[in-house]
Amino acid sequence: MLELKNVGKRYQKETWGVRGVTLELDAGVHGLLGSNGAGKSTLMRMLTTVSEPTEGEIRWNGAVVSESASTVRSVLGYLPQDFDTYPSLHLEEYMEYVGALRGLDAETTSARTDELLRVVGLSDVRDRRLDTFSGGMHQRVGIAQALLGDPDLLVVDEPTVGLDPEERVRMRNTLADTPGDRVVIFSTHIVGDIEATADTVAVLDDGELVTHDETEALIDRVEGRVYRCTVPGDTADSLRERHTICNTVRRAEGFELRLLADEPPTSDSEPVAATLEDAYLSTVNNATT
Amino acid sequence: MLRRDARRVYHIARTDLLARLRSRKLLAFLLIVVYFGYLINAGTFGLFYSADGSLVSGALTAPMTGLNAGVAGSMVMLFGGFFLMRGSISRDEQHGHSTVVAGSNVRSSVYLLGKLGSNTAVGLLTAGVLAAAAVGNHAVHGVGATDPVVIALPVFVMVVPLAVLVGGVAILFETIDVLVGTLGRIVYLVSMIFVVGGLFVPSGTATPAEVQTEAKLFDLLGRVLAHELTFDAVQAGYPAFDTGFVSFGTGGGLEQTFNYEGGRWPAWFFLQRFCCAVTGIALTVTASVPFARFRDTTPGPVIERIPSVSLGSVLSRLPLGKRDNTGSVTPAEDRPRVGELSLTPAETSSGGVSRLLAVELRRLLRGHPWWWYLGAVALAVGPLWIAATGGGGGRAVLLLAAVWPVFVWSRIGSQTARAGILEQIRASNYPVGQLFAEWLAGGLIGLAVTGGAFALLIVDAGSGAAVGLLGVVVFPPSLALVAGLWTGSQRLFEASYLGIWYLGPLNGAFFADFAGVTTESIAMFVPVGYAMAGLVAVLAVANHRAYDGLMG
C-alpha cells in the first residue's frame, strides 16, 4: 500500500507545486485528475523518488520512502510525462538498458521483452533504431519499459498523449488488465481515460487534493444534477453565469447546453446520466468557489 | 515584396536574439569576452614581437589597446562565436516552432537571413562588450589619454564583419546533415586552426611589403594588419629588430615595449572585412539549398536525432531509405492483452552495475559512421606497431587520439540530461550506478583509443609520459558528464574541451596540457590535477544525483 501524509513540494519561497496531500492507495488502478499545472507531475515525481518532498511523508508498505528510496525503486515501473529514449539504440537494446537499470538478469529481460513487445505490438521493429519511431510507437515503448520489471507500483504520467483513438483504448486496456495485486497510478487531464480505467479517482486542483473517491461514488455525487437543454444565445449567456457548463454545442435552433444544476434550469430541460467529466467539473468548481 | 521580406528578416532576427539574450550561454560568453578585455589591459595577453633577443609588446596606448582588443575579439569570434551561434535552427526545431515556419510562406532564404541577423547582432553585442571593457580597463591601466573612439572603432571594424562570416558558416553547417553534430564542430575548429594558425600567415621574418596577398585575404585574426600597422613603431624602438612576424597570445609582457600611436589603416583590410561580410551573407543564402525546412520534426529530441552522422542515418534521408513512421506495425487485433499472457516473473540479478557498464559502452559506441570506427581501431593498434618497430611520432598520434573519442564523449551527460531519460534513471535501482557506469564507459573508450599513443610516447619520451594517460582517460569524460548534464547539450563540452586541447596539447601551454605532452606539465603533474578536478566534479554530480546524497 502507498500512503502519503501531508505531502508537499515547494519550488520557491512561497510557490508550492503540491501541498498537504494525504492519500492511501491500495492495489488497483487509481486515476489522478487535474488541469494542466494542477500538480499531477510534481506528485508523480515525488512518488517515483525523482524528487524529494519538501514536507510530509511517503510510505510504501509501511517503509518511509525518504529514508530508503530503494524500497520504492525496486518495485517501481515508471512512464514519465516527457518519456524519451536514446535515439541511437535499437528497441531491443533499449529494453536491455532498462532491464539493467531495473536490476533484472539478462534472461528475464529477454523473456519479458519478448512478451511485452508482443503486447504493445512492436515485436517486428525490435531491431530498429528508436529515432525512426513515430510518437505513438514511442509511447508504446514507454509502457513496455514501465512494465518490464513486473512492478508492484506502476506510475504512468499522461500515457495517452499523442496516441490515436485506437491506441488510446489499447493503452487504457493494458493498464486495466495489469494483475490486480499492484498499485497503478494513472495521471491524465483526459477524464474519459480515467473513467474507463480507474477504480478510484483523486482530483488535484492548484496543488491541493480536492477529493479522492471511488469512480462510481464520484459520479453518484452529481447524479440527478446534470441537465441538457437547447436555448437561444442570450439565455445561454445567462445560464453560463449561474451554472457549471459541461458542454456546449451550437445547433440550428440555438445552443445545446449540458450543465450542472440542482433544479431543471429551463422548462424544457431533460435530466441526463452523469459522467465522470460532470463530476470532475463539479468538484473543481466547488473547490474554487 | 522586399519591404515585407525585410520585415520578416527583422522579426526572425529579433525573436532569435531575444531567445539568446535570455539564455545563460550568451551571458557566459560575454563574461569571457570581458575577461579578455581585462587580460589585454593587464598586459598578459596581446600582440608581441621577438626583437633584440627579447619579447616586445606594445605600450598600452589607446590605439594599441584598440588593436589588441580587435585581434582578441576576432579570435573569440572565430573560435567561440561559432559554438555560440550554432543551434539557432535546431532551437526552433526543438521547441516545435520550425513546423510553424515550415508551414508559412516565409522563404527559406528569408528565414535563414533572419537567423544571420541574430548572429550578427550577437557579433555587435560581443564587440560592444569587448570595446566597453577595453575602454574601462584602459582608463585604469592604460598609457596616455583614453580615447573611446580610437579603442572601440577597431573592435567593431574587425569583429562585426567576422561575426557575419562565422554566423553564415554556422548556419550553413546547421543545414547540412553530416555537419550538424560533432563532426561539423571538429571540421570547423581544425579549419580555423589551419587558417589562423599559420597556413597563410608568414612564418619567420617578413616586412609588411613582403607579405603575400593570400595572407591578407585570409587574415581573419588581424595579425597581418597588426604587423603592418605596428612594424615601423617596433623598428623605431629596436633598430636591430629582425622583422620577425608579430605573434598574438600570452607570450608578451610589458617589460619591453614599443610605442604605437596609431595610423591610417590599409584599404586592403577594409576590403577583406567587407568580403567577409558578403561571404557570410552568400553562405547563408546558399544554405537555403540544403536547408530542409520540412525535415523530421516529430516530437522529441530532434537536436539529438539530426546530428547522428552514421551512414545509415544519411541513407535513411534518401528516397531509397525505408522510413516507416506510420505507427502500428503489428495489427492491433493480433496483439495479446496483458491479462491473456502468463508473463515471465521478474528475476533480479546482483550484477546490475556491470551490466549497466556494458549497455553504456554499447550506447556510446553505437551509431557512429564507419570511418570513426576505422580511425579508432587505427589509433588503438597502429601506435603499438610503430612502437614495436622503433617508435617516433608519438606526440602527433596522441594529439589526434585525444580528439578522436570526442564523438563518443560528447554523448556522455548530454543525452542523459533529457528530462524523459533522466527521470527514468533517477527512478531506477541504480541512479548513481548509471552515472558512474556512463563515466567509466567514456574513460574505457578513451583508454582504448589513446593507450597505443601513450605506449608510443613512452617509447619516445620515457615513462614519465604515462602521467598524461590519467589526464586523458579521466578528465574528458568527467568534463563531458558535468557539462552535458548541466546544459543538456554537447556544445559546452565540445567547445571547452577542444579549446583546452588547442591551448594545451596542441600549442604547448603547460597549464592546459592535461595530456602531458609538454615536459613542464609532466613535471608539475598537470594531468593529475586535471584528473583530480574531473573526479571531484563527478563525485559532486553523483552526490546531487543520489536521493539523499552520497553520504546519506
> Under an 8 A CB cutoff, do B423 and A50 touch?
yes
Reported residue count of chain B is: 552
Q: What local confidence, expressed as pLDDT, does residue A57 receive?
A: 93
> Under an 8 A CB cutoff, do B348 and A104 touch?
yes
Q: What is the DSSP letter of A104?
A: B
Nearest CB partner across the interface for A86, out of B310, B324, B415: B415
pTM recorded for the entire structure: 0.72
What would the pLDDT profile of A38-49 be if each residue is shown by its tens digit?
A: 899 899 999 998
Whether B275 has a pLDDT exceeding 90, the answer reads yes
Nearest residue on chain B to A47, alpha-carbon basis: B427
Whether A287 has a pLDDT exceeding 50, the answer reads yes
Residue B312: pLDDT band with limits 50, 70, 90? very low
User: Which residues in chain B touch residue A166, judged by CB atoms under 8 angstroms apart?
Assistant: 332
Going by C-alpha positions, the residue among A161, A162, A166 that lies closest to residue A189 is A161
Q: What local confidence, expressed as pLDDT, does residue A176 receive?
A: 80
CB of A139 within 8 Å of a chain B CB? The answer is no
> Under an 8 A CB cutoff, do A82 and B339 touch?
no
Is the CB of residue B203 less than 8 Å from the CB of residue B245?
yes
Q: How many CB atoms lie within 10 A of CB B295?
A: 16
β-sheet with B54-58: strand ranges across? B247-249, B46-51, B54-58, B257-258
Ranges A95-109, B149-163, B172-186, B365-379, most confident: B149-163
In degrees to the nearest 10, what's the CA dihedral of B213, B215, B216, B219?
160
Please report the ipTM that was assigned to this predicted complex: 0.79
In degrees to the nearest 10, what's the CA dihedral of B116, B117, B119, B123?
130
What would the pLDDT profile of B338-348 be if each residue is shown by its tens digit?
A: 666 667 777 77
Q: What local confidence, expressed as pLDDT, does residue B338 receive?
A: 66
Nearest CB partner across the interface for B337, out of A150, A164, A177: A177
CB of A92 within 8 Å of a chain B CB? The answer is no
Residue B309: pLDDT band with limits 50, 70, 90? very low
Nearest residue on chain B to A51, alpha-carbon basis: B547
Q: How many CB atoms lie within 10 A of CB B199?
A: 12
Cα separation, A208 vs A187, in Å, equals 15
Q: How many CB atoms lie within 10 A of CB A245?
A: 17
Mean pLDDT computed over B287-304? 61
Cα separation, A243 vs A259, in Å, equals 7
Q: Which residue of A81, A85, A95, A132 to mutate against B (max B Cβ within 10 Å)?
A: A132
Cα separation, B174 vs B472, in Å, equals 30
User: Which residues in chain B touch residue A84, judged by CB atoms under 8 angstroms apart?
Assistant: 300-301, 418-421
Is the CB of residue B478 less than 8 Å from the CB of residue B439?
yes
> Under an 8 A CB cutoff, do B344 and A115 touch?
yes
What would the pLDDT profile of B43-81 be if each residue is shown by its tens digit?
A: 677 888 887 677 888 888 999 999 999 998 998 899 888
CB of A64 within 8 Å of a chain B CB? The answer is no
What would the pLDDT profile of A242-272 be if each residue is shown by its tens digit?
A: 899 999 999 988 899 999 998 898 888 999 9
Percent pLDDT > 90 in chain B is 35
Q: How many CB atoms lie within 10 A of CB B301?
A: 22
Going by C-alpha positions, the residue among B447, B74, B421, B7 that lies closest to residue B226 is B74
Q: Which three cell numbers stand for residue B274?
A: 567587407
Q: What local confidence, expressed as pLDDT, does residue B294 receive?
A: 67
Nearest residue on chain B to A72, alpha-carbon basis: B427
CB of A96 within 8 Å of a chain B CB? The answer is yes
Residue B330: pLDDT band with limits 50, 70, 90? low
User: Which residues in chain B touch residue A82, judged by CB atoms under 8 angstroms apart?
Assistant: 418-420, 423
Mean pLDDT computed over A74-96? 89
Is the CB of residue A209 less than 8 Å from the CB of residue A20?
yes
Cα separation, B413 vs B472, in Å, equals 18
Q: What local confidence, expressed as pLDDT, does residue A162 receive?
A: 74
Nearest CB partner across the interface for A177, out of B298, B338, B434: B338
Nearest CB partner across the interface for B429, out of A84, A103, A122: A103
Q: What local confidence, expressed as pLDDT, does residue B316 receive?
A: 42
> Under an 8 A CB cutoff, do A125 and B329 touch?
yes
CB of A63 within 8 Å of a chain B CB? The answer is no
What would the pLDDT profile of B489-517 be if each residue is shown by its tens digit?
A: 888 898 889 888 888 888 788 889 999 98
Ranges A86-90, A128-132, A261-265, B537-541, most confident: B537-541
> Under an 8 A CB cutoff, do B352 and A133 touch?
no
Q: Which residue of A98, A119, A168 to mutate against B (max B Cβ within 10 Å)?
A: A119
Q: What local confidence, expressed as pLDDT, does residue B322 receive?
A: 38
Ranges A156-160, B31-35, B359-363, most confident: B359-363
CB of A118 within 8 Å of a chain B CB? The answer is yes
Whether B278 has a pLDDT exceeding 90, the answer reads yes
Cα separation, A183 vs A199, in Å, equals 11
Is the CB of residue B281 less than 8 Å from the CB of residue B112?
no
Those residues with Cβ within 8 angstroms of residue A176's Cβ, 6 or more apart along the chain or in another chain: A29, A196, A197
Q: What is the least distance, in Å, from the CA of B334 to any CA of chain A?
A: 8
Q: What is the least distance, in Å, from the CA of B332 to any CA of chain A?
A: 7
Whether B363 has a pLDDT exceeding 80, the answer reads yes
Is the CB of residue A149 less than 8 Å from the CB of residue A171?
no
Sign (positive or negative) of CA dihedral A186, A191, A197, A199? positive
Cα separation, B289 vs B287, in Å, equals 5
Percent pLDDT > 70 in chain B is 86
Nearest residue on chain B to A137, alpha-carbon basis: B327
Cα separation, A141 vs A238, in Å, equals 48
Q: How many CB atoms lie within 10 A of CB B341?
A: 13
> Under an 8 A CB cutoff, do B356 and A76 touch?
no
Cα separation, B215 vs B223, in Å, equals 10
Cα separation, A72 vs A65, in Å, equals 7
Q: What local confidence, expressed as pLDDT, does residue A165 receive?
A: 84
> Under an 8 A CB cutoff, do B430 and A125 touch?
no
Name residue, grid cell 535499437: A90
Whether B134 has a pLDDT exceeding 60, the answer reads yes
Q: Are strands A270-271 and A208-214 parallel, antiparallel or unpaired?
A: unpaired
- A–B interface: beta-carbon pairs under 8 A: 192
What would the pLDDT profile of B387-429 be if each residue is shown by its tens digit?
A: 777 767 788 888 889 999 999 999 999 988 876 788 899 999 8
Whether B271 has a pLDDT exceeding 50, the answer reads yes
User: Which residues in chain A touch residue B547, judged by CB atoms under 8 angstroms apart?
Assistant: 49, 52, 66, 69
Q: What is the least distance, in Å, from the CA of B408 to any CA of chain A?
A: 12
Q: What local confidence, expressed as pLDDT, does residue B181 receive?
A: 81
Greater model confidence, B537 or B19: B537
Whether B531 has a pLDDT exceeding 50, the answer reads yes
Cα separation, B203 vs A126, in Å, equals 58
Cα separation, A54 vs A8, in Å, equals 6
Instruction: Tell me the DSSP string of B108-146.
Output: HHHHHHHHHHHHHHHHHHHHHHHHHHHHHHHHHH-SS--
Whether B552 has a pLDDT exceeding 60, the answer reads no
Q: What is the mean pLDDT of chain A?
A: 89
Nearest CB partner across the interface for A173, out of B312, B326, B337: B337
Give the long-range contacts of residues B513-521, CB within 8 A, separation 24 or more. Answer: B513/B468, B514/B468, B514/B471, B514/B472, B514/B475, B515/B398, B515/B402, B515/B468, B515/B471, B515/B472, B516/B464, B516/B465, B516/B467, B516/B468, B516/B469, B516/B471, B517/B395, B517/B398, B517/B399, B517/B468, B521/B468
Cα separation, A229 vs A271, in Å, equals 9
User: Which residues in chain B touch residue A124, judged by CB atoms under 8 angstroms apart?
Assistant: 329-330
Cα separation, B417 vs B415, in Å, equals 5
Cα separation, B178 vs B369, in Å, equals 10
> Under an 8 A CB cutoff, do B332 and A103 touch?
no
> Under an 8 A CB cutoff, do A112 and B316 touch?
no
> Under an 8 A CB cutoff, do A82 and B420 touch?
yes
Q: What local confidence, expressed as pLDDT, does residue B194 receive?
A: 80
Q: What is the DSSP letter of B267?
A: H
End-to-end Cα spacing for chain A: 33
A 185-244 residues with CB < 8 A to B: none
Going by C-alpha positions, the residue among B16, B180, B21, B25 that lies closest to residue B496 is B25
Q: Which three cell numbers stand for residue A18?
A: 503540491
Q: What local confidence, expressed as pLDDT, does residue B324 receive?
A: 44
Q: What local confidence, expressed as pLDDT, does residue B127 receive?
A: 93
Is the CB of residue B39 less than 8 Å from the CB of residue B45?
yes
Q: What is the least distance, in Å, from the CA of A124 to any CA of chain B?
A: 7
Identify any residues that bridge with A31 across adjacent strands, giving them in sequence order.
Answer: A186, A201
Name residue, grid cell 574528458: B476
User: Which residues in chain A touch residue B313, judged by CB atoms under 8 angstroms apart?
Assistant: 131
> Under an 8 A CB cutoff, do A112 and B346 touch?
yes
Q: Which three cell numbers stand for residue B432?
A: 548513481
User: Which residues in chain B touch residue A174, judged by CB atoms under 8 angstroms apart?
Assistant: 337-338
Of A56-70, B88-102, B180-194, the least confident:
B88-102
Q: What is the mean pLDDT of chain B?
A: 83
Those residues with Cβ within 8 angstroms of residue B101's Cβ, 6 or more apart along the chain or in another chain: B92, B111, B293
> Under an 8 A CB cutoff, do A124 and B329 touch?
yes
Q: Which residue of B429, B436, B544 to mutate against A (max A Cβ within 10 Å)?
A: B429
